Amino acid sequence: MCCEKTNWEKAVEFHGHECPGLAMGYKAVEAAKERMGIKFSSDEEIVCVTENDACGVDAIQVITGCTFGKGNLIYRGTGKMAFSFFNRANGDSLRMIVKPFKKEMDRKQRQEYILNAPAEEIFEFMKPSFALPETARLFTTVVCENCGEGAPEHKMRLQEGKKVCLDCFKDYSRGW
């Protein structure tokens, strides 16, 4: 008889290996669960806005159910090791950003520190400075008049009177 996998084990299996970055996402989810009472999101009840595209996002996906495909995992590319969680049911929200580490550690030491230290030592907690993103929308697919490939209408551009995709669009800018 086998035991059910822990969330850490599920995250490692999904990501492919253990690392400090994965531990960071795991720790963020554990803190969000504790502070907000969030559970696995089968649709868009819980939303995560990640400000990075690093290893920790894999832990967030597998543990929270927030995914790009469902539209409840949103990438906001600031490059910061920050995650914001929103609960659509009760309006609760929480942003956490990693504090600078105070001492040098190798990868294994850092991972163990992240997994075992109190969340308050790892993260600054605050309210997000941006609003809860709207729910995912479905868009009509438009065929590019240049390459013939389809893309959602909000990603199309007009160029020389033709509807073109972002790959075919030649941006025009004179500097500002």
Is a pLDDT exceeding 90 seen at residue 12? yes
| pLDDT at 36 exceeding the cut of 70 | yes
Residues 89 and 142: their CA atoms lie apart, in Å, by 34
Can you give the pLDDT at residue 21? 97
The domain over range 7-126 is classified in CATH as 3.30.1330.130: yes
pLDDT tens-digit profile of 120-176? 999 999 999 999 888 888 899 999 999 999 999 999 999 999 999 999 999 888 876
pLDDT band at residue 80 using 50, 70 and 90 as cut-offs: very high
Residues above pLDDT 70, as percent of the chain: 98
- CATH of region 138-176, choose from 1.20.58, 1.10.287, 3.30.60, 3.40.50: 3.30.60
Res. 2: pLDDT tops 80? no
Region of poorest pLDDT, from 13-22, 101-110, 129-138: 129-138
Range(s) of the chain covered by CATH 3.30.60: 138-176
pLDDT tens-digit map of 55-70: 999 999 999 999 999 9
pLDDT for res 134? 86
Question: Residue 23: what pLDDT?
Answer: 98
CA dist 68 → 126, 153, 157 (Å): 24, 19, 23
User: Measured between alpha carbons, how far is residue 62 from residues 27, 51, 55, 127, 149 in Å?
Assistant: 13, 18, 12, 24, 32
Q: Cβ distance 165 to 156 under 8 Å? A: yes
In the chain, which segments carry CATH 3.30.1330.130? Answer: 7-126
